[in-house]
Structure 1
Amino acid sequence: MAKPNKKGPTRTVDIYCAKCKVQLFKYRKGGKGALIKCFKERITEDLTQVACTCPACGQTFARECLIRGAPALKMIGGKVTFK
């Protein structure tokens, strides 16, 4: 399978913890659908200290995995929101 485009989309969204509303990171998202996965190379600003864990409430919001051969974060349903 093809790897995701590194440059990717120019539209940036802010991703927040659904529980405590703290911003987790800024991400270059393509399309208008739900946020299911985040490719690590598209994250422009990471505000978490521990990977996949909210810095404020300690909730795990994603799992690290490989998607199409590229490292990504697979989001757990209902744990994050984006604007």
Structure 2
Amino acid sequence: MAKPNPKGPSRTVDIFCAKCKAQLFKYRKGGKGALVKCFKERIVDDYTKTACVCPNCSITFARDCLVRGTPAFKMIGGKVTMK
């Protein structure tokens, strides 16, 4: 399978914790669909102290995995929102 385009799309979205509304990432997302995964190379700003854990309420919002051979965070349903 093909790897994602490293430059990625120019549109950025802000990703927030669904529970406490703390900002987690600023991410270059492509398409109009739901946020299922975040490729690490497309994260512009990372506001978390520990990977996949909210800095405010300490819930785990994602899992670290490989998608098409590229490191990514796989989001857990209902744990994050985006604007």
| TM-score (norm. length: structure 2) | 0.99
Q: Distance in 1 between matches of 2:25 and 2:47?
A: 5
Note the residue ranges of structure 1 that are not aligned, 5 or more in a row: none
Note the residue ranges of structure 2 that are not aligned, 5 or more in a row: none
Q: How many residues align?
A: 83
Q: Distance in 1 between matches of 2:20 and 2:28?
A: 22
Pairing 1:65-76 to 2, within 5 Å after superposition: 65-76=65-76
- Which 4+ residue blocks in structure 1 deviate beyond 2 angstroms? none
Query: SS of the residue aligned with 1:41?
Result: helix
Pairing 1:14-53 to 2, within 5 Å after superposition: 14-53=14-53
1:57 offset after TM fit, Å?
0.1
The one-character-per-residue Cα deviations of 1:6-52 (angstroms, maximum 9, x if unpaired) are: 00100000000000000001000000000000000000000000000
Q: Distance in 1 between matches of 2:32 and 2:57?
A: 28
Q: CA RMSD in A?
A: 0.2
* Corresponding residue of 1:55: 55
**Identical-residue share of aligned pairs (%):** 77
